[in-house]
Amino acid sequence: MTIKNHSVRCSIILCILLIISIVLAVGTGPVTIDFISVWKIVLHNISKYVGLEHLISIEDIKSSTQNIVWFLRVPRVLLGGLVGAGLTLSGICMQAFTKNPLAEPYVLGISSGASLGAVLAMLAGVWLPWGGRLTVSAGAFAGALVSMLFVYTLARTGNTVTPIRLILVGVAVSSLFSALTNYIVYTAPNDAAVREATFWMLGGLGSAEWEDLLLLGIFIIPAFLCMMYLSKALNALLMGEHSAITLGVNVNVVRRILIIVSALLTASAVAVSGCIGFIGLVVPHIVRSIVGADHKKLIPLSVLTGALFMIWVDVGARMLHPPTEIPVGILTAFIGAPLFLWMIKVRHYEFK
């Protein structure tokens, strides 16, 4: 009850926690870096942009440490936060669209489309000398959008897309694209590329670079504002399509916006980090069980929680078997799947 009535205060607390977590997570890894050095390096690099770098000296810190912090850890942690936030927001979109708290960002067949695109790009990258990492991201992004368009077009009858058709078409298209991906991987001539493709599909933040942040940031901020703008319409939509119409919501337009927002968010998240599951499902659910279903509270709190969750799971991925990294998608599934089962068992949700 108290959390419910103080969502603004909670958002501020989560923001503070997020900042602290970012600094702590940057310091954690196979090479431990102390708190003060992390702050110094981060502030030094930021102050470069305003020409004040002389105020914070980092000459006493080894340049390898500087590089680890600024070129590996910081982008990785920030990317983790953005991916967590993006997948959570995308999950909320799909849950509102399907009126089902158990829907996830990959309902539109996006993960399989992205995998297909990425694998094609990866194998093509071997054959083409100018291919590279960027091609994989671009391939995944393109694949995700193609699958989403495919699902949307097939699920559409006249001017409307009903949730149940979307889910069914999504399942079918997913299987088709997965089959294609598996076929390509199975017949691929290059073992190394296949291993890379498999690892990529499991999801991970290890390849984070500063440019990746841009791709996700471009989508997340407008998507967040758009969802906040629609929050009351989304509430009405959860009461049922007919209810929403009689309350004055233009259901078709809102649904179309939800699909577009969700598709762009998921596609960009998948493009930079592979298919990380369960975040978009579990995080909104937990937040909902605390603050209720009102989107005005749910969206900001979930987005912050999603970012926090992802950052710490990624720390786990780095620290569980150092120096080997575990794909973060495996860990989110380890945590998310039991929670998901518990949700079905205890909360008695049904598919309607």
Partner 1 sequence: MSLNKGDEYEMLEIRGLSYQARDRKILSQIEMHIKKKEFVGIIGPNGSGKSTLLKNIYKVLKPQQGEIFLMGDNLTSMSNREMAQNLSVLIQEQEASFDFTVEEVVMMGRHARKKMMESEDKNDKKLVEEILKKVGLLSIRSQSFLTLSGGEKQRVLIARAFVQDTPCLILDEPTNHLDIKYQLELMNLVSDQNKTVIAAIHDLNIAALYCSYIYVLKDGQITAHGLPHEVLTEETIFRVYGVRAKLYTDETGQKHILFQAGQK
Which residue number, 200 or 340, has a Cβ lying nearer to partner 1?
A: 340
Range 176-215, binding partner 1 (CB under 8 A) = none
CA-nearest of 74, 89, 97, 103 to 305 is 89
- Give the integer Cα–Cα distance in Å for 65 and 75: 14
Q: Give the containing element (helix H, strand E) for 157.
A: strand 156-157
Cβ atoms of 82 and 213 within 8 Å: the answer is: yes
- When asked if residue 3 is in the footprint of partner 1 (CB under 8 A), the reply is no
Q: Does 99 bind partner 1 (CB under 8 A)?
A: yes
Residue 259 contacts residue 152 (beta carbons within 8 Å): yes
String of DSSP letters for 164-226: HHHHHHHHHHHHHHHHHHHHHHHH-S-HHHHHHHHHHHH--STT--HHHHHHHHHHHHHHHHH
Question: Is 240 a residue that touches partner 1 (CB under 8 A)?
Answer: yes
Shortest Cβ 236–partner 1 spacing (Å):
5
Q: Does 2 bind partner 1 (CB under 8 A)?
A: no
30 vs 240, beta carbon nearer partner 1 = 240
- In sequence order, the 6+-apart residues with CB closer than 8 A to the CB of 16 are none
List 63, 186, 242, 323, residue binding partner 1 (CB under 8 A): 242
Length of the chain, in residues? 352
Site for partner 1 in 255-314 (CB under 8 A): 288-289, 292-294, 296
- Residue 103 interacts with partner 1 (CB under 8 A): yes or no: no
**Single-letter code of the amino acid located at 107:** V
Q: Compute the least distance from the CB of residue 99 to partner 1, in Å.
A: 7
Compute φ and ψ for 349, nearest 5 degrees.
-80, 150
Stretch that binds partner 1, among 16-24, 93-101, 174-182, 324-332 (CB under 8 A): 93-101
Q: Does 100 bind partner 1 (CB under 8 A)?
A: yes
Backbone angles phi, psi at 181, to 5 degrees: -60, -50
CB closer to partner 1, 7 vs 111? 7
Site mask for partner 1 (CB under 8 A), range 105-144, x = bound: ----------------------------------------
The residues of the shown chain that bind partner 1, judged by CB under 8 A, are: 1, 99-101, 228-230, 232-233, 235-236, 238-243, 245-251, 288-289, 292-294, 296, 349-350, 352
